[in-house]
Amino acid sequence: MNLLEALINAIRLPELRNKILFTGGILIAFRLFANIAIPGAKQSALSLLFNQQALLGLLDLFSGGGLSRFSVVAMGMNPYINATIIMQLMTVISERIKEIQKEGEMGRRRIQRWSRYLTVALGAGQAYGFTVLFQNTNPAILGPLDWFQRLQIILVLTAGTVMLMWFGELITEYGIGNGVSLIIFAGIIGRGPQGIVSVFSAHSTGGGLADYVPFIIFGVIALVMTAVIIEVQQAVRKIPIQSAQRVAGGREVGRRASFLPLRVNHAGVIPIIFAISVMFLPTIIANYFTYFYKTITFDVNDVADNLKRYSSFIPGIRPGRPTADYLQAVMNRVTFVGACFLGFITVILPIATAKISGIPHQQMYLGGTAILIVVGVALDTMKQLQTQLVMRQYRGFIK
């Protein structure tokens, strides 16, 4: 089922059509709030700062241009993403939290509640940091503030992040796709045209066709890069699995062959977002974080235990610890490829593209990172849409 066919079939079904409209309405509301600026900020000073700082440009990209306007949603989803990842890291550090995570829906809701509390704390801290930063730029973006004025800005920015967190949870529960990812997706899409126009205006010299050559080169590279990203995002390493013969319901069930898919880019774009929003360091650090995040999202010991519990095994590998060691070795090799891919897309490719096209790499934050996130979110959303279409087809067949 291709993209166009899936969309047409979804629109024909009232339930899915309402979910799509609900998701679109929430994303439109997000874009409206991204254009409501907090009074008192000097836009000329903001523009100067963001032209000089590429990393701030990346944060602005994730907030849909809200940070460069100093809007009520200036921090975007960064505090919520950081809080969620920190809670995931805690499942490795704390055995208690790991046990809570295994308690099913109740445990998931409990950890989600803690993530919300942590989001407020991180949001307030980040809001304070931006307020101090914008007061100490040259020229200053914010004028002198007393403690009450500073508290007002911190409360507004924190409330904006909490509102986006709520928007994301509403989309996940009542709409289509992952709400957090779709809000970041909408921010990039909404920021993209403005960024392209500003770059073109800055490099236009009135030389006619020659002005378009760098952008034609950039467009060709972007198309090739999109195709490569799609292939890598969908690439998996298939590990063969066999189920042993067992007795179920008073009868013997024969062996059944299947496979365990290990994604090449298992960590997705989370290492990129986490490295940028927390560390404010070059995104190459995300390569090392990819390995750590992979151990959280894919626990080889749990997978090995589950295979053993359901009388399944990998041909030629003994159940239990040998299976976990084998999966760890395979996952390390696969993750190395994924980490190199992330580093190439987000660090090396923008610099190489800048050399080829002549567009400064400081303005390439609309390049590899943005395309990687947009393509990844689009693929995941379409997979969810197709899954819901298949489920409804089976439901209609059963009826």
Share of the chain above pLDDT 90, in %: 12
- 134, 201, 308, 376 from 130: Cα distances, Å: 6, 29, 51, 29
CATH topology of domain 1-203: Preprotein translocase SecY subunit (1.10.3370)
CATH fold match for the domains 1-203 and 210-366? yes
Predicted pLDDT of residue 296: 57
Statement: residue 298 has pLDDT above 90: no
Share of the chain above pLDDT 70, in %: 75
Q: How many Å is the Cα radius of gyration of the chain?
A: 24
pLDDT band at 287 (very low <50, low <70, confident <90, very high): very low
Backbone angles phi, psi at 72, to 5 degrees: -70, -15
Q: Which residue has the higher pLDDT, 300 or 295?
A: 300
Statement: residue 396 has pLDDT above 80: no
pLDDT band at 344 (very low <50, low <70, confident <90, very high): confident
Stated as kind and residue range, the H or E segment containing 241 is strand 236-243
Which tokens in the block code for residue 393? 């087809």
CB 371 within 8 A of CB 226: yes
Q: What is the mean pLDDT of residues 74-89?
A: 84
Q: Which residue has the higher pLDDT, 353 or 163?
A: 163
Beta bridge partners of 258: 241
Q: How far is CA 261 from the centre of its chain?
A: 21
pLDDT band at 90 (very low <50, low <70, confident <90, very high): confident
CB 376 within 8 A of CB 260: no
Query: What are 348-381's pLDDT values in tens digits?
Result: 777 777 777 666 555 555 566 777 778 878 888 8
Q: How many CB atoms lie within 10 A of CB 324?
A: 20
Stated as kind and residue range, the H or E segment containing 264 is none
Q: Which residues contact 223 (CB under 8 A, 6 or more apart)?
A: none
Q: What is the mean pLDDT of residues 41-64?
A: 78
Compute the distance between CA of residue 168 and CA of residue 178 in angstroms, rounded to an integer.
7
Statement: residue 211 has pLDDT above 70: no
Between the two ends of the chain, the Cα-to-Cα distance in Å is 23
Q: How many CB atoms lie within 10 A of CB 207?
A: 9
Segment among 42-51, 118-127, 132-141, 276-285 with least mean pLDDT: 276-285
Q: Which residue has the higher pLDDT, 386 or 283?
A: 386
Segment among 72-76, 290-294, 322-326, 387-391 with least mean pLDDT: 290-294
Segment among 9-18, 35-44, 147-156, 261-270 with least mean pLDDT: 261-270
Statement: residue 67 has pLDDT above 50: yes
Q: What is the mean pLDDT of residues 98-117?
A: 85
Domains in the chain: boundaries? 1-203, 210-366
Predicted pLDDT of residue 23: 92
Which tokens in the block code for residue 41? 């900020």
Residue 287, amino acid? N
> Which DSSP string corresponds to 18-57?
HHHHHHHHHHHHHHHHTT-BPTT--HHHHHHHHHH-HHHH
Statement: residue 112 has pLDDT above 60: yes
Predicted pLDDT of residue 284: 39
Of 192, 160, 190, 161, residue with least CA distance to 28? 190
Statement: residue 338 has pLDDT above 60: yes
Q: How many CB atoms lie within 10 A of CB 178?
A: 17
- 160, 168, 206, 209, 345 from 172: Cα distances, Å: 19, 6, 47, 46, 28
Predicted pLDDT of residue 281: 40
- pTM (2 d.p.): 0.76
Which tokens in the block code for residue 96? 């208690």
Q: What CATH homologous superfamily does 210-366 map to?
A: SecY subunit domain (1.10.3370.10)
Mean pLDDT of the chain: 77
Of 344, 365, 7, 384, residue with least CA distance to 187? 365
Stated as kind and residue range, the H or E segment containing 392 is helix 368-398
CB 347 within 8 A of CB 339: no
Query: How are strands ordered across the β-sheet holding 312-313?
Result: 256-263, 236-243, 312-313
Of 285, 276, 326, residue with least CA distance to 54? 276
Predicted pLDDT of residue 282: 41
Q: Which residue has the higher pLDDT, 57 or 44?
A: 44
Of 54, 105, 74, 5, residue with least CA distance to 280? 54
Statement: residue 337 has pLDDT above 90: no
Predicted pLDDT of residue 66: 84
Statement: residue 247 has pLDDT above 60: no
Question: How many helices and strands, by DSSP H and E, does the chain display?
Answer: 17, 5
